[in-house]
C-alpha cells in the first residue's frame, strides 16, 4: 500500500550516530524522553509565535524518534515496555506541538486554524489506534499514506516557512485519510469469520 516516505532511514546515516550514543551509554528510553522534552520546548516556542525556531526544534525532536529504535536494536535493548513507552511518548510529542499551535491561535480568535488542529490531532491518534488494534488481532499494519514521519516533516517545515495554515490543512486531511486507509487494510487482512449458527 502506498506511503509517501520510506519507513526506514539508511543505516549509513543512523549507524554513526547510534555508535556515538551507545559509546556515551545513552539508553533508548532516555533518547525517547529527550525527544518529548524537545517537543515540549517546540510547543513553548510555537505558543509564542516563534515559528522558525519552533519548526527547527520539531524536526530535531522528530529525528530522535528515528534514533531511539535504532539504538535499541543496535544495543540489544529492545523490550516490550520500551515499544509501548516509545509509542505513547510519540503521541504525547504530537499533542504537545499541536497544543502549542492551538494556544497561539486561540489567543487570536483564529477559528479555522483551531478546528484544523483538532482534526489533525484526531486523525493522528486514529492512525496509531487502528494500528494498535490491528496488532491485537494479529494483523500488522505498518503501511500508511501519512504516518508520523510525514506529519513531523509537514508541521516542522510548515512552521519554518511560515505556512502553518497550509500545513494544518494537509495534516487534517491526510491524517484522517490515512486512518481510513488503515481501517480498510485491517478489513482486507482480517480472516473471513465463519457464520455463527443460531438455535
Provide the residue ranges of all domains of the chain, joining segments of one domain with +. Answer: 11-187
In this model, does residue 18 exceed pLDDT 90? no
197 labelled catalytic? no
In this model, does residue 1 exceed pLDDT 50? no
- pLDDT averaged over the chain? 86
Q: What pLDDT does residue 11 have?
A: 63
- In the set 15, 68, 90, 107, the catalytic residue is 90
DSSP conformation class of 192: P
Q: Output the pTM of the full model.
A: 0.85
57 vs 192, more confident: 57
Q: How far apart are the first and last CA of the chain?
A: 42
Q: What pLDDT does residue 196 have?
A: 44
123 vs 194, more confident: 123
- Confidence band (pLDDT; 50, 70, 90) for 4? low
- Confidence band (pLDDT; 50, 70, 90) for 146? confident
Task: Residue 111: count other Cβ atoms within 10 Å of its Cβ.
Answer: 10
133 vs 11, more confident: 133
What does the block give as the cell for 175?
Answer: 491524517
DSSP conformation class of 142: -
Q: For 11-187, which CATH superfamily applies?
A: CDP-alcohol phosphotransferase transmembrane (TM) domain (1.20.120.1760)
Q: Mean pLDDT across the stretch 3-22?
A: 65
Percent of all residues in the chain with a pLDDT value above 70, rounded to a whole number: 89
Distance CA 39, CA 11 (A): 25
The closest alpha carbon to 95, from 69, 131, 125, 68, belongs to 125
Instruction: Give per-residue pLDDT as tens, 35-94.
Output: 999 999 999 999 999 999 999 999 999 888 878 877 888 788 788 888 888 889 999 999
188 vs 8, more confident: 188
Amino acid at each position: 500500500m502506498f506511503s509517501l516516505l520510506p519507513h526506514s532511514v539508511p543505516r549509513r546515516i543512523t549507524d554513526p550516530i547510534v555508535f556515538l550514543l551507545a559509546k556515551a551509554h545513552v539508553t533508548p528510553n532516555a533518547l525517547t524522553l529527550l525527544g518529548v522534552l524537545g517537543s515540549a520546548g517546540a510547543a513553548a516556542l510555537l505558543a509564542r509565535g516563534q515559528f522558525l525556531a519552533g519548526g527547527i526544534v520539531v524536526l530535531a525532536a522528530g529525528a530522535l524518534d528515528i534514533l531511539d529504535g535504532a539504538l535499541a536494536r543496535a544495543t540489544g535493548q529492545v523490550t516490550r515496555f520500551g515499544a509501548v513507552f516509545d509509542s505513547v511518548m510519540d503521541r504525547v510529542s504530537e499533542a504537545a506541538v499541536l497544543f502549542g499551535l492551538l494556544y497561539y491561535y486561540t489567543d487570536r480568535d483564529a477559528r479555522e486554524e483551531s478546528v484544523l488542529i483538532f482534526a489533525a490531532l484526531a486523525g493522528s491518534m486514529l492512525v496509531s489506534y487502528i494500528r494498535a488494534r490491528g496488532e491485537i488481532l494479529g494483523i500488522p499494519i505498518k503501511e500508511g499514506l501519512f504516518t508520523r514521519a510525514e506529519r513531523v516533516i509537514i508541521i516542522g517545515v510548515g512552521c519554518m516557512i511560515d505556512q502553518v495554515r497550509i500545513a494544518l490543512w494537509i495534516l487534517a486531511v491526510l491524517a484522517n485519510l490515512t486512518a481510513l486507509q488503515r481501517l480498510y487494510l485491517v478489513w482486507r487482512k482480517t480472516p473471513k469469520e465463519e457464520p455463527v449458527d443460531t438455535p
